[in-house]
Amino acid sequence: MEVLRPQLIRIDGRNYRKNPIQEQTYQREEDEEDFYQGSMECTDEPCDAYEVEQTPQGFRSTVRAPSLLYKHIVGKRGDTRKKIEMETKTSISIPKPGQDGEIVITGQHRNGVISARTRIDVLLDTFRRKQPFTHFLSFFLNEVEVQEGFLRFQEEVLAKCSMDHGVDSSIFQNPKKLHLTIGMLVLLSEEEIQQTCEMLQQCKEEFINDISGGKPLEVEMAGIEYMNDDPGMVDVLYAKVHMKDGSNRLQELVDRVLERFQASGLIVKEWNSVKLHATVMNTLFRKDPNAEGRYNLYTPDGKYIFKERESFDGRNILKLFENFYFGSLKLNSFISLRGSQ
């Protein structure tokens, strides 16, 4: 990471710089104090976006967070919380493990409460990013015509390209799980799952029905591409999905859904547009048939892990099946919230 171009974390409309840390060596919760010391620079600037209540005793602000993340605010032996309290001259009340509730910050000075709130938000955002994905938003693409087209594609690829490095039946998608992913989510509580469902309903009422015209979108699944830049070392190969009438209505619809969820913080903003695709081959399936989307390099405890993937040579597949036609189908306006396993 370049010193002059550090990673930025966006919280409530404000950007905060995250100092570089050696994530590869992050092995134990005991390291959280060091992480805190290295990532809190430039978080003291007052932020007017936070709601701070004035009380007879001073000032107060609350943060809702899943109980799974409380331990990262507390730290080993409570050291992280104590350090924030000492440096911001505040008091931080955190619910007991396993109990949902609000983190309450109180203090005599408004700027101190805001500073503590900002530090807590940075910690919550950082450790949320390290959680494995739990759900994803998608359209099902598993109608009979498309499933049959996919099985024909798999049969022909194995018949013509099975001698190519890394190509075997284990890396093909399950035809019953074919889908178009809009975004991956980390939902750590029933409240967040309910919030996601409500937001999907709002999207449907506010713009999905208007874009679709209240009718299923007729789409085609045709042609293949690969994710990385070396066709001889492919990890993900996907089928392209587009509107039969040539319009961009499907792209507009999924992009607006993505934008809405990014604005809410339920999806981390990593891109501005959804790539319309359906994964048909993925080397993650070689060891885990249930693998979906981008692989997280952290366990639920925030420990760094490394998973080696065996890529496959996709050059012949791309040459022989560049314009392969999987089939057509109708997408209704129902976007599915699915568990990642």
pLDDT band at 12 (very low <50, low <70, confident <90, very high): low
What per-residue confidence (pLDDT) applies to 270? Answer: 77
**Whole-angstrom Cα distance, residue 180 to residue 144?**
16
Residues 6+ apart with CB under 8 A from 100: 66, 67, 189, 191
pLDDT band at 248 (very low <50, low <70, confident <90, very high): very high
Report whether 266 contacts 192 (CB < 8 A).
Answer: yes
What per-residue confidence (pLDDT) applies to 20? Answer: 44
pLDDT band at 309 (very low <50, low <70, confident <90, very high): confident
What per-residue confidence (pLDDT) applies to 292? Answer: 59
58: left (phi over 0), alpha (psi -120 to 50) or beta: left
pLDDT band at 337 (very low <50, low <70, confident <90, very high): confident
Q: Where in the chain is the domain with CATH 3.30.1370.10?
A: 48-130
What per-residue confidence (pLDDT) applies to 4? Answer: 46
Domain 48-130: CATH superfamily is K Homology domain, type 1 (3.30.1370.10)
Mean pLDDT computed over 50-71: 92
Give the predicted TM-score (pTM) of the model. Answer: 0.73
pLDDT band at 36 (very low <50, low <70, confident <90, very high): low
Q: Which helix (H) or strand (E) holds 150?
A: helix 144-161
- DSSP-derived secondary structure letter, 170: G
What per-residue confidence (pLDDT) applies to 156? Answer: 98
What per-residue confidence (pLDDT) applies to 294? Answer: 45
Q: Where in the chain is the domain with CATH 3.90.1140.10?
A: 135-339
pLDDT greater than 90 at residue 257: yes
**Whole-angstrom Cα distance, residue 127 to residue 185?**
14
**For the ranges 58-62, 180-184, 284-288, 294-298, the one whose mean pLDDT is highest:** 58-62
CATH fold of 135-339 reads Cyclic Phosphodiesterase; Chain: A, (3.90.1140)
Q: What digits encode the pLDDT tens for the residues 101-117?
A: 899 999 999 999 999 99
Average pLDDT score, the chain: 83
pLDDT band at 252 (very low <50, low <70, confident <90, very high): very high
What per-residue confidence (pLDDT) applies to 29? Answer: 45
